[in-house]
Amino acid sequence: MTITKQNYLWCLNPARMAAQGRRLPSPGEQFSIFTDPFGEAVLNYADRQGDVLTESSLVREDHFIVIDNFGSTGGVSAQWIQDPATNLTINWVPNGFVQIAIDNVWYYQNPEDIKSWGISGDAAPFPSNLETNFGYLLEPNIYVRPFETWDVRYVITNQYPNLALYPYAPGCFAQVYVQYWEFTGSDALICEQLMKVGIEVNVDNVEWFRRQLLLSRGLDTTDWEWYLAVSQKYWEGERAKAKRPDEPKLAHKDKRTRSG
């Protein structure tokens, strides 16, 4: 029974991959930042240099995932620079896009209804800074339910320099960052119940629902009447909040308004 905010940082370090004899992903080859053999997980497995996860991200039966935000390295043209002294490639932009996959469904599509590359690093930059636009904010969040598999897929659409003549200098040349909430145990079950009654799954609502369960101790919470009462209570709460515009907004609600 935990609610944790997780984050995952992936990095493409071509120099280390070359040292390990691994090939770089081809431009236009969309791959998983979790399980495909490119790059490395930085934040969580610093000691496993050059490795990514070994298992696909299947949400276990007592887990529930809410993907909150992501970003990747920005830039369009390659802006390739080699060091004249060493011939090493010291600057190169990946021109990458992030796409989310849940089971066999791609989240981002073109206006003509076919799968797109996803969100560019210019739209959702990582790291972000004050000079870049606010760009893309994921709203509403993406829910990944038990037994679903989710994936963050990245594609590089700039060609590489001639690697034999201009190998890469050490360092990250592309990064992808994802943050999400992980609900486990009874909290994951509460997420499922919230979804059934059409209430947004976020930390505040899960905690609120838990309080309702505690308050109704001894009553049969599988009754329709109980769910109606809970729905009614949530609706009244939302109405009361709407009447108090000066009330501070909940941390996880309305990201767009918050950033504006």
Partner 1 sequence: MLRRQAYEWRGIVPDGASPPVTLNLHPILTLNPVIPAYNAAALAPVDIFVGGYGSNLDIPANVTASQFIVLDEISVWPPEASAQIWIEETLYYVNPDGTATRGVTGNTTPFTPTGGNLRQTIIANPKAPLGIMPSYRLTDTPIYIKQGQTWGCYFYITQLQQTQICGKGTGTSTWDYSVSASPRPEEGDLWVPRVYLEFVLFDGADSIIAYKLMQQDIPVTVENVTAYKQMVIRHKLMADIHEKKENEKKLSDIPERFI
Which residues are at the interface with partner 1 (CB under 8 A)? 27-28, 73-81, 83-84, 90-95, 97, 107-114, 116-117, 119-123, 125, 130-133, 135-140, 157-159, 161, 173, 196-200, 224-225, 227-228, 231-232, 234-235, 238, 254, 256-257, 260
Give the nearest distance from C-beta 223 to partner 1 in angstroms.
9
Rg (the chain; Cα; Å)? 22
C-beta of 184 vs 212, nearer to partner 1: 212
Task: Give min distance, CB of 14 to partner 1, in A.
Answer: 12
Provide, rounded to whole angstroms, the least separation between the CB of residue 42 and partner 1. Answer: 16
How far is it, in rounded angstroms, from Cα 243 to Cα 50?
A: 53
**Residue among 55 and 224 whose Cβ is closer to partner 1:** 224
- Residue 154, classed as helix, strand or coil, is strand
Question: How many CA within 13 A on the CB side of residue 121?
Answer: 22
Instruction: Give the contacts of 225 (CB within 8 A, at least 6 positions apart).
Output: none
Which residue type occupies 8? Y
45/106 with CB nearer partner 1: 106
Peptide bond into 161 cis (omega under 30): no
Quote the least distance from Cβ 185 to partner 1, whole Å. Answer: 25
